[in-house]
């Protein structure tokens, strides 16, 4: 790749994705894939966290009409070539990535496994413990990966969140250094 280049051959980098065009083509690894059940704000979705060869991440959403078409093709940790998708502002309340945009599959989205390409395996995006201590206010709307030593844990508690029953446990962590 040439210094300052925003593409690797015919592929765009995740960090460059924005609203400026409709012809993005990316090569990414599926870090996580999961289904979100219907809720008050929308229907069932299949969602993914993707990363490119530089480790940059973006969230992808497949809405109900397209789920049956794409679900059988998706496997975590595999690499895919994706073209013809919508780019939307990252409107999620809880952000799975720091990317300002997310991508949404449509019926014309091309999605195929790419077995000829090697991308690094960057499943986690660990943040240093010091980063949490340095923040005046912790952003509880962004998900991060962190390693810590468990100091204490609460009993499992049942809560109703957005109409569904969830079981939660609170952990107190310390820096393992």
Quick: pLDDT tens for 124-147.
777 787 877 777 666 666 677 788
**Segment 63-99, tens digit of pLDDT:** 998 999 999 999 999 999 999 999 999 988 878 888 9
Residue 62, both tokens: 């497949």
The whole model's pTM is what? 0.76
CA distance 78 to 123: 11
Q: How many helices (H) and strands (E) does the chain have?
A: 2, 13
pLDDT at residue 40, rounded to an integer: 56
Q: What 8-state DSSP symbol labels residue 146?
A: -
2 pLDDT band (50/70/90 cuts)?
Answer: very low
Query: Token pair 């929308």 is at which residue?
Result: 42
The candidate with the shortest Cα–Cα distance to 56, out of 82, 78, 26, 85, is 26
In 2-78, which ranges are continuous DSSP H helix?
64-70
Q: Which H or E element spans position 134?
A: helix 129-134
CA distance 119 to 54: 8
The segment(s) of the chain belonging to CATH 2.40.50.140 are: 7-113
Query: Token pair 């912790």 is at which residue?
Result: 138
Q: What 8-state DSSP symbol labels residue 126?
A: B
Residue 127, both tokens: 């943040």
CA distance 80 to 73: 10
As assigned by CATH, the class of the 7-113 domain is mainly beta
């Amino acid at each position: 790749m040439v210094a300052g280049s925003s593409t690797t051959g015919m592929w765009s980098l995740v960090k460059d994705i924005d609203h400026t065009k409709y012809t993005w083509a990316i090569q990414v690894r599926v870090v996580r894939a999961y289904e979100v059940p219907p809720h008050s704000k929308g229907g069932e979705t299949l969602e993914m966290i993707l990363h490119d060869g530089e480790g940059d991440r973006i969230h992808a959403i497949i809405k109900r009409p397209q789920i049956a078409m794409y679900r059988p093709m998706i496997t975590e940790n595999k690499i895919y070539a994706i073209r013809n998708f919508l780019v939307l502002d990252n409107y999620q309340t809880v952000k799975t990535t720091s990317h300002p945009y997310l991508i949404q599959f449509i019926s014309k989205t091309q999605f195929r496994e790419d077995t000829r390409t090697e991308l690094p395996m960057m499943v986690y995006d660990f943040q240093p413990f010091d980063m949490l201590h340095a923040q005046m206010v912790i952003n509880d709307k962004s998900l991060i990966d962190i390693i810590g030593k468990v100091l204490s844990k609460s009993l499992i508690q049942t809560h109703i969140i957005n109409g569904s029953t969830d079981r939660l446990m609170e952990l107190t962590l310390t820096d393992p250094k």
